[in-house]
Amino acid sequence: MSSQPAGHPAAGSAPETGGAGMTMTQKILARKAGLPHVTAGQLVEVDLDLVLGNDVTTPPAIEVFRATGKTRVFDPAKVVLVPDHFTPNKDIKSAEQCRKMRLFAQEQDLSNYHEAGEPEMGVEHVILPDNGLVMPGDAIIGADSHTCTYGALGAFATGVGSTDMACGMATGRCWLKIPGAIRVRLSGAPRGFVTGKDVVLDLIGRIGVDGALYRSLEYTGPGVAALTMEERLTIANMAIEAGAKNGIFPVDDRTLAYLREVAPERLARGEGWIVEPDADASYDETLDIDLSRVPLTVAFPHLPSNTRPVDLAGAVPVDQVVIGSCTNGRMEDMRLAARILSGRRVSKSVRCIVIPGSQRVYARCLEEGLLSIFVAAGALVSAPTCGPCLGGHMGILADGERCVSTTNRNFVGRMGHTGSEVYLAGVPVAAASAVAGRIAAPEEIGIEAPADLRAEWLGTAGPERA
């Protein structure tokens, strides 16, 4: 891959020579393959800790599972099926898909299958960590490209297709090519309303949508400590938008505090494996990012890498704003949205759709009074679902319409008509844009940047189960 453009304020890069040591990802995969050592490019079969599917990818996987000749999944506690894309069922065909998945879950006695409305339910990548299903050092595949989200907890997690999912369900195993890695060394702390979303958009903007193709993005450095758990989930979530196989963070005190909240029993039993890169790990390249210099960032249509600082966005009127998804549908996101919308009105010309990422997040919004703030501001609050993120339902765009969205993809037609446009941003810009009726930073609608956003968030990194 090409190296960093010179003179950029936030990041710099250096080519790597590297040693014979292994990256975090390589160490996990070596362990799961039962090998003392692996190197980039090697093909291995690994034992899996979790196999995930959703209502789009599971129905074809069930067909393939039947074709393998197996009758039972390898471990009913380690297969997780989540109806989230077209649920609550948007039409008859989606209802049939969901029914097929539900019947399979019943047939196989899966412990991690929940219906819409149950406290454990919501968008897959929001609920798996919050339900305590992900532990550091795990190897996880999911028939959903954003499965890479779980790297935030120091696990190896990657997206696969339905056939991989089916064979994973049948055998508990998966073939993988050992990836090389880009090391992303973080320093400093984000300023003002800048969040993890801006950090990852800015990164994708500089390396491109195939900048990390076939490789891992491994985050290290003192800046990691500045990021909340939820910001790390957001950053790991979008590894795939840089083409990466996975993104991974080291485990620190904040990760352990989060795990104490969501998986106390597993932690007490000594489950999980904390991995650090070898001192002589071989990296293809190192990127240095000073978090304090990352600007509020917007990705213009039609690629997540088409980024600009919000200050250079120009006058872009918007028709719709979506706040939610597996990227930004967590509690901190809801609190940030409420902070911007509180006491203000969504512009007459904008439909603002807020989608708590899970039933637990929804309940918490209710308790904290955030739902009233959204409604009073003239925003619409949806049930937890992927919905408009993939152009499924609950906010499809017409020809020529523009949407500022906290989701992760802005491809042609992603949210509706091929003539519509999606602008990706973090929650503060999305919410401020809803008020302004055009792409705007919070400061442009008269909101002072906070002195220390992260300090306000400390201690609230977990899902705070009811």
Partner 1 sequence: MGRVFKYGDHVDTDVIIPARYLNTSDPAELARHCMEDLDTSFAGRVRPGDILVAGINFGSGSSREHAPMAIKASGIRCVIAASFARIFYRNAINTGLAILESPEAAAEIADGDDVDVDFETGLISDRTTGRTYRSTPFPPFIRRIIEADGLVGYLRSGGMAGTRVAGSEPEVTP
Residue 78 near partner 1 by CB under 8 A: no
Q: Which partner in ligand SF4, partner 1, none is near 213 (CB below 5 to 8 A by kind)?
A: partner 1
Most distant CA atoms of the chain, gap in Å:
63
Task: Give dist(CA 133, CA 75) in Å, integer.
Answer: 14
Contact mark string toward partner 1, 308..347, x via CB under 8 A:
----------------------------------------
Residue 49 near ligand SF4 by CB under 6 A: no
Out of 20, 67, 225, 376, the only residue in the binding site for partner 1 (CB under 8 A) is 67
Tokens of 109: 């006695």
Residue 84: which region, alpha, beta or left (left: phi > 0; alpha: psi -120 to 50)? alpha
Out of 81, 128, 134, 167, the only residue in the binding site for partner 1 (CB under 8 A) is 167
Tokens of 182: 């880009």
SS3 299: strand
Out of 123, 127, 157, 160, the only residue in the binding site for partner 1 (CB under 8 A) is 160
Residue 178 contacts residue 41 (beta carbons within 8 Å): yes
Find the shortest distance in angstroms from Cβ 61 to ligand SF4.
16
Contact mark string toward ligand SF4, 244..283, x via CB under 6 A:
----------------------------------------
Q: Which partner in ligand SF4, partner 1, none is near 124 (CB below 5 to 8 A by kind)?
A: ligand SF4
Out of 1, 44, 95, 390, the only residue in the binding site for ligand SF4 (CB under 6 A) is 390
Residue 1 near partner 1 by CB under 8 A: no
Region of 183-191, 303-311, 382-390, 426-434 interacting with ligand SF4 (CB under 6 A): 382-390
Out of 97, 216, 307, 382, the only residue in the binding site for partner 1 (CB under 8 A) is 97
For residue 6, how many other CB atoms are within 10 A of its CB?
A: 7
Q: Which is nearer to partner 1, 44 or 449 (CB)?
A: 44
Site for ligand SF4 in 118-147 (CB under 6 A): 123-125, 144, 146
Q: Which is nearer to ligand SF4, 168 or 304 (CB)?
A: 304
For residue 273, how many other CB atoms are within 10 A of its CB?
A: 16
Q: Which is nearer to ligand SF4, 244 or 440 (CB)?
A: 244
What one-character DSSP code corresponds to residue 5?
A: P
Residue 69 near partner 1 by CB under 8 A: yes
Out of 163, 292, 342, 460, the only residue in the binding site for partner 1 (CB under 8 A) is 163
Residue 126 contacts residue 326 (beta carbons within 8 Å): yes
Task: Give dist(CA 225, CA 222) in Å, integer.
Answer: 6
Q: Which helix (H) or strand (E) holds 283?
A: none
Out of 129, 180, 391, 462, the only residue in the binding site for partner 1 (CB under 8 A) is 391
Closest residue by Cα to residue 199 from 338, 296, 333: 296
Q: Which partner in partner 1, ligand SF4, none is near 123 (CB below 5 to 8 A by kind)?
A: ligand SF4
For residue 303, how many other CB atoms are within 10 A of its CB?
A: 18
SS3 14: strand
Residue 409 near partner 1 by CB under 8 A: yes
SS3 365: helix
Q: Which is nearer to partner 1, 99 or 191 (CB)?
A: 99
Burial 392-423 (b: 16+ CB within 10 A, else e): bbbbbbeeebbbbbbbbbbeeebbbeeebbbb
For residue 41, how many other CB atoms are within 10 A of its CB?
A: 10
Q: How far is CA 68 from CA 31, 100, 141, 165, 166, in A?
A: 27, 18, 18, 12, 8
Task: Give dist(CA 242, CA 233) in Å, integer.
Answer: 15
For residue 105, how many other CB atoms are within 10 A of its CB?
A: 22
Q: Which partner in ligand SF4, partner 1, none is near 86 (CB below 5 to 8 A by kind)?
A: partner 1
Q: For residue 417, is the peptide bond before it cis, meaning its omega torsion is within 30 degrees of 0?
A: no
Out of 389, 424, 425, 461, the only residue in the binding site for ligand SF4 (CB under 6 A) is 389
Positions that interact with ligand SF4 (CB under 6 A):
84-85, 123-125, 144, 146, 325-326, 386, 389-390, 407-408
Positions that interact with partner 1 (CB under 8 A):
33-35, 38-39, 41-45, 56-57, 59-60, 63-64, 67-69, 85-86, 90-91, 93-94, 97, 142-145, 147, 159-164, 166-167, 170-171, 173-175, 177, 209-210, 213-214, 240, 243, 245, 303, 390-392, 409, 411-414, 418
